[in-house]
Structure 1
Amino acid sequence: MKIAITGATGQLGQLVVQKLKEKKIEAELVALVRNPEKAASLGIEARTFDYDQPNTLPQALEGIDHLVFISGSEIGKREAQHYNVIKAAKQAQVKKIAYTSLLHADTSSMILAPEHLATERMLMESDIPYTILRNGWYTENYTAGLKQAVEQGVIIGSAGNGKISSATREDYAEAIAEVITNDAHTGKTYELAGDQTYTMQDLAAEVRKQTSKSIEFVNLPEKEYAEKLQQVGLPQGIAKAFASLDYSASKNDLYNQDQILSKLIKRPTTQLHQAVKQALA
């Protein structure tokens, strides 16, 4: 059996490869990446795979049985890109797809939701057996900039008092490895989120506790937050998108208490204090 992973050199993709290796299953792993040279460190076969080059995709998927389909990263381009991948998978007779969607994609106010929902529909209409993993936020989205935040004494954002049920990339990667190797999950749509729910104020309190330094969360209006992100060097479009996503968190779009993720990985999801400790180390 051959299992292919799209975006295998990305932060999530690399972890999926690692988790599949740890399972010690009788399967060959294939990295589907834009630049196979960058995949050398993964120690598996690598094939050129560019969502924007539809004519090359069926050949790249030749002989692939199961496909871990990690969604593209370019907002606004993903519906067309994902159509290319699903069409190619059908041509190549891929037997199963696990797709990384968005938490509550059918009800979320997030700007990412429509593209994910369109992809889910395409999958359902493709006749390819699938599992949809509606992933919540990565805890790393909040912890990646904590060292700088500690220096400045402030965490800024537009999430307000929104409840966030995030999990780490490793948690999600473990779930992906489980569903792509276990046919019991075929045909299912899973809402995946962390066991623990927190607010940005809770995050600031945890950082204060671990550093003994003064740090506060300052909530900004969406437009003002976008302007701040531009000031630190983000392009206008990306800054607006980030601010919009953060504002959506204030509406509890990232809140979920089903605890399906921890059931899939057969352990509790990574706690906030652990993720903060790792980020500050």
Structure 2
Amino acid sequence: MSIVVTGATGQLGRLVIDELLDRVPAEAVAAVVRDKDKAAGLAERGVELRIGDYSRPETLADAFAAGDRVLLISGSEVGQRVAQHTAVIAAAKAAGVAQLAYTGILGGPEADFGLADEHKATEQAILDSGLPYTFLRNGWYTENYTANLAPVLAHGAVVANAGEGRVASAPRADYAAAAAAVLTGPLDEHLGRAYELSGDVSWSFAEYAAQVAQASGQEITYTNVPAATHREILVGAGVPAFFAEILVEVDEAVARGALAARGDDLSRLIGRPTTPIAETIRAALAGA
């Protein structure tokens, strides 16, 4: 039996592997990757590499084994994820895994914006499969905002169409720690559970702008704009139209309060308070 992480070379996957290696021996961990060369660093740490590509179901036949505890990290290709995830679910079912944990989205079936649709369909596919499951419904990653602070600093403004809506975000490392806790903890504590994972403290975009201003020493304001205007700004900045539409719709969801949930599942699983946004902002600025 191994603890298996799919998408292991991605931003979240690597952090999950780091957390697992702090908890269990390396020989107990396996990483499903598309390219072994890209994952050479994991192999050097003693992690078993297994080849598997979400988009090529035939490659997943040997990705899992009976009794494995598996983390299915959701794919990044919006519009293709249901088919990709379904292929992983089928392979996990055929192998007879002991647990399939899935990184979905905050709110699960109640999430009311388009980006959630593929996550909801995946959760239903897992339920239909009869696999022993754990749903990790991740809220927003703080890095969704702090990873690209350059235009905010250049223009002195945070631009969104989120109104006064709030986001209860946490950095990827916090979500990775929660996933590792679920994968290494007693099975009977986590099977059949859906965890709503979000930061302890929610923030508004005006508060976010103020935090960036304080950390950078620059004047930064929050500019709330109509959805159509925001869409035009994003496309004008080179964001593909389909992705600009996703970002605008997410801001509309923020305005409705869809990402403001502040339960304690995340802090309880990781055994500490979630990381404040100010800390993630400072780290992003230090690495810029």
Aligned twin of 2:222: 217
Aligned twin of 2:122: 119
Deviations 1:170-193 (A, max 9, x none): 000000000011111111001000
Counterparts of 2:155 and 2:31 in 1: how far apart (Å)? 40
Aligned twin of 2:34: 34
Taking the TM superposition and a 5 Å limit, the aligned residue runs for 1:183-222 are: 183=187, 184-222=189-227
Aligned twin of 1:11: 11
Quick one: which amino acid aligns to residue 70 of structure 1? I
Taking the TM superposition and a 5 Å limit, the aligned residue runs for 1:22-61 are: 22-25=22-25, 28-43=28-43, 44-61=47-64
Counterparts of 2:269 and 2:172 in 1: how far apart (Å)? 14
SS in 1 for 2:13: helix
Counterparts of 1:25 and 1:31 in 2: how far apart (Å)? 14
Quick one: which amino acid aligns to residue 53 of structure 2? D
Quick one: which of 258, 261, 270 aligns to 2:266? 261
Q: Give the stretch that moved more between structures: 151-160 or 169-178.
A: 151-160
Quick one: which amino acid aligns to residue 116 of structure 1? H
| Pairwise CA distance, 1:64 | 6.4
Aligned twin of 2:70: 67
Deviations 1:169-219 (A, max 9, x none): 000000000001111111100100000111000001111222231111111
Counterparts of 1:210 and 1:145 in 2: how far apart (Å)? 15
Q: Give the stretch that moved more between structures: 184-193 or 119-128.
A: 119-128
Quick one: which of 254, 268, 275 aligns to 1:249? 254
Deviations 1:106-137 (A, max 9, x none): 12222122211111111122222111011000
Q: Give the stretch that moved more between structures: 194-203 or 220-229.
A: 220-229
Aligned twin of 2:159: 156
Quick one: which amino acid aligns to residue 251 of structure 1? R
Question: Do the aligned partners of residues 27 and 124 (structure 1) sit closer, same or farther apart at CA in structure 2, a change above 3 Å counting?
Answer: farther
Structure 2 length normalisation: TM-score?
0.93
Aligned twin of 2:282: 277
| Pairwise CA distance, 1:246 | 2.2
Quick one: which amino acid aligns to residue 184 of structure 2? T
Counterparts of 2:123 and 2:258 in 1: how far apart (Å)? 18
Quick one: which amino acid aligns to residue 131 of structure 2? I
Aligned twin of 2:234: 229
| Pairwise CA distance, 1:168 | 0.5
Counterparts of 1:96 and 1:241 in 2: how far apart (Å)? 31
Counterparts of 1:261 and 1:174 in 2: how far apart (Å)? 9
Quick one: which amino acid aligns to residue 33 of structure 1? V
Counterparts of 1:210 and 1:54 in 2: how far apart (Å)? 46
Q: Are 1:50 and 1:57, in contact at CA under 8 Å, matched by a contact in 2?
A: yes
Counterparts of 1:97 and 1:70 in 2: how far apart (Å)? 10
| Pairwise CA distance, 1:25 | 4.7
Q: Are 1:3 and 1:64, in contact at CA under 8 Å, matched by a contact in 2?
A: no
